[in-house]
Amino acid sequence: MPEPSVTRKDERERQTSESRVGLGIDFHRLVEGRRLVIGGVEIPNTRGLAGHSDADVLIHAMCDSLLGAVGRGDIGTHFPDTDPRYRDISSLVLLEHVMRLLADDGWRVVNVDATVVAEEPKLTRHFAGMKAVLGGVLDLPSDRIGLKATTTEGMGAIGHGEGISAQCVCLIERALR
Ligand code: MG
C-alpha cells in the first residue's frame, strides 16, 4: 500500500479549529400539581413535568447534547437528583453551568437543533419566547436554535399523554492553538 500523501496528522496540523457534535435525549412524566416548563418558558397547562429540578425536558436534552459533544458524561452525573441543591432548580441554571464548563475549555456553540415530542399542549407559539431565553444562555441568535414539535400520532406512552420527550443535537467549535 502506498503511503497516503496527506496523513491524518498533517490534516490535524493544518486545521485551525476543531468541531464536535453531541446528542441528548430526555423523557419526563406529566403529572398534576406541577408547572410545565419547557425551553425555559412556563407554559399554561393543567399538568406539568415531574422531576427533581423543574423537569425542563428540552433543556435537559440540550445539556446532554453539549456534555456529550465534549465527552463529559451526562446531566445526571453533574447534577444528581439526590442532591437537595437541585430540587426545583431552574434548568436554565444547569444549562448555564454546562456552558461555563464548555467555555472554560474554549468551546462555543455553533448551533443546536431540538425536537419536543408531546401529544399536548401545542408548543409552536412558545418557540419565539424559548429562543429568546435559550439564545441568551447559549449566546446564539434565533437562526442557530432549531425548535420543532411533533406528536406520536397517539401511539405509545407519549401519545397517551403520559409524558413529554425531547431530543437535541448540537455542534460546537473551538480554535486550535
Ligand atoms: Mg430530565
Is pTM, for the whole model, over 0.75? Answer: yes
C-alpha cell at 97: 453551568
Q: What is the pLDDT of residue 84?
A: 87
Contact (Cβ atoms closer than 8 angstroms) between residue 100 and residue 154: no
Q: What is the pLDDT of residue 81?
A: 85
Q: Which domain holds residue 140?
A: 17-175
Identify which of 148, 126, 115, 160 has the alpha carbon closest to the alpha carbon of residue 25. Answer: 115
Q: What is the pLDDT of residue 172?
A: 98
DSSP codes joined into one string, the chain: -PPPSS-HHHHHHH-SEEEEEEEEEEEEEEEET---EETTEE---SEEE-SSS---HHHHHHHHHHHHHTT---HHHHS-TT-GGGTT--HHHHHHHHHHHHHHTT-EEEEEEEEEE-SSS--GGGHHHHHHHHHHHHT--GGGEEEEEE--TT-HHHHTTSEEEEEEEEEEEEE--
Residue 1 located in a structural domain: no
Q: What is the pLDDT of residue 68?
A: 98
Centre of ligand 1 from the C-alpha of residue 139, in Å: 22
Q: What is the pLDDT of residue 99?
A: 98
Answer positive or negative: Cα dihedral of 145, 56, 120, 29. Answer: positive
Residue 139 located in a structural domain: yes
- How many structural domains comprise the chain? 1
Domain holding 74: CATH number? 3.30.1330.50
Centre of ligand 1 from the C-alpha of residue 141, in Å: 25
Residue 12 located in a structural domain: no
Residue 11 located in a structural domain: no
Centre of ligand 1 from the C-alpha of residue 76, in Å: 8
Centre of ligand 1 from the C-alpha of residue 151, in Å: 19
Centre of ligand 1 from the C-alpha of residue 26, in Å: 5
Centre of ligand 1 from the C-alpha of residue 15, in Å: 36
Q: What is the pLDDT of residue 7?
A: 76
Centre of ligand 1 from the C-alpha of residue 166, in Å: 9
Residue 155 located in a structural domain: yes
Q: Let me know how long the chain is.
A: 177
Centre of ligand 1 from the C-alpha of residue 105, in Å: 25
From first to last of the 177 residues of the chain, give the pLDDT tens digit: 666 677 777 777 778 999 999 999 999 999 999 999 999 999 999 999 999 999 999 999 999 999 999 999 999 999 888 888 888 899 999 999 999 999 999 999 999 999 999 999 999 999 999 999 999 999 999 999 999 999 999 999 999 999 999 999 999 999 986
Q: What is the pLDDT of residue 122?
A: 95
Residue 63 located in a structural domain: yes
Residue 87 located in a structural domain: yes
Centre of ligand 1 from the C-alpha of residue 104, in Å: 24
Residue 142 located in a structural domain: yes
